[in-house]
Amino acid sequence: MDIVLQQLVNGLTLGSVYGLIAIGYTMVYGIIGMINFAHGDVYMVSAYITAIAIALLTFFGIESFPIIIIGTLFLTVAVTGAYGWVIERIAYRPLRNSSRLSVLISAIGMSLILQNYVQLSQGANQQGVPTLLTGAIRFSVGDGFVQITYMKLMILLISLLGMGILTYVIQKTKLGRMCRATQQDRKMASILGIDTDKVISTVFVIGAMMAALAGVLITLDYGAFDFYVGFIIGIKAFTAAVLGGIGSLPGAMLGGLILGLSEALFAGLISSDYKDVFSFSLLVLILIIRPSGLLGKPEVEKV
């Protein structure tokens, strides 16, 4: 029983991070109907920015843990958001009215550019950050115990807070209404006076900021990263977005949690060697039953 509960804790933590990154995929797809395949590499860039931010704050003599965490979050989220804006302006906006294949090739090219840019500027060797938060909370369960580290608890709380704030922005604010209007009908939204180009750029920035939030949390937890780290987690987050229903914000969150929980439970109870096989098998099974994903809306063919 304690093993199951421990893996549930691990799965919720991992799933919340998948959900944060999946939000970027699903928001971009919901607005322009395209997949931003450079999104995983935006997460990778945020990992390096996290390390640079910690080094800068330490260099200036800041040793307080809360100040380091808050400062790192603000710096990383801001700089990574700027990367998202640049990616939209360079790789997507010039091809807005081109074929889907052109945009796809452009996105893949941007992904390769980011990987090589980081490899050349920061080196190909694995990088790391020091452990800033230690300790854990333990709960007795029968003859064993369940443990959640303070770092994982912080990941879970900040992830849920980030998702909650974004949900409020999309559902209750003027920006959110413009985003939803652009998603439903871009031409009509433009006719009604909404600057759809600005909305699309904002969506890219928001997606990059969510990936940056995940990048800070995972980097602080695992401590190690390299220029290729964005590929695997990007594929996992994209899987989460498809699982929950690409284009659905709650679906991205739900898909991330389901993927994280399934991976953790399978790894802890059966075998960690085949956890990815199980996760993708679960995706295939769900898509067979619900091709649009768990919370996705079936596409209606326009006549």
DSSP E strands in 111-248: the ranges are: 127-128, 136-141, 144-149, 224-225
Q: Which residues are CB-neighbours of 32 under 8 A, at least 6 positions away?
A: 92, 96, 186, 200
Q: Which residue has the tokens 């909650």?
A: 164
**Maximum Cα interatomic distance, the chain, rounded to a whole number of Å:** 66
The answer to whether position 163 is within a domain reads: yes
Side-chain half-sphere CA neighbours of 216 within 13 A: 28
Question: Could you give the percent of the chain with pLDDT greater than 90?
Answer: 32
The answer to whether position 79 is within a domain reads: yes
The answer to whether position 76 is within a domain reads: yes
Q: Is the pLDDT of residue 302 over 50?
A: no
The answer to whether position 156 is within a domain reads: yes
Give the mean pLDDT of 111-115: 93
The answer to whether position 244 is within a domain reads: no
Q: Is the pLDDT of residue 46 over 50?
A: yes
The answer to whether position 159 is within a domain reads: yes
Provide the number of structural domains found in the chain. 1
Confidence (pLDDT) at 1: 65
Give the mean pLDDT of 143-156: 85
The answer to whether position 111 is within a domain reads: yes
Confidence (pLDDT) at 298: 66
Q: Are 11 and 264 in contact (CB under 8 A)?
A: yes
Q: Which residues are CB-neighbours of 175 under 8 A, at least 6 positions away?
A: 169, 202
pLDDT in tens, 173-203: 999 899 889 888 888 999 989 999 899 999 9
Q: DSSP 3-state assignment of 127?
A: strand
pLDDT in tens, 56-87: 999 988 888 889 999 999 999 999 999 999 99
Q: Are 261 and 5 in contact (CB under 8 A)?
A: no
Range of the domain at 95: 17-229
Identify the band that residue 170 occupies on the pLDDT scale cut at 50, 70 and 90.
confident
The answer to whether position 10 is within a domain reads: no
Q: List phi, psi (to 5°) of 127.
A: -105, 170
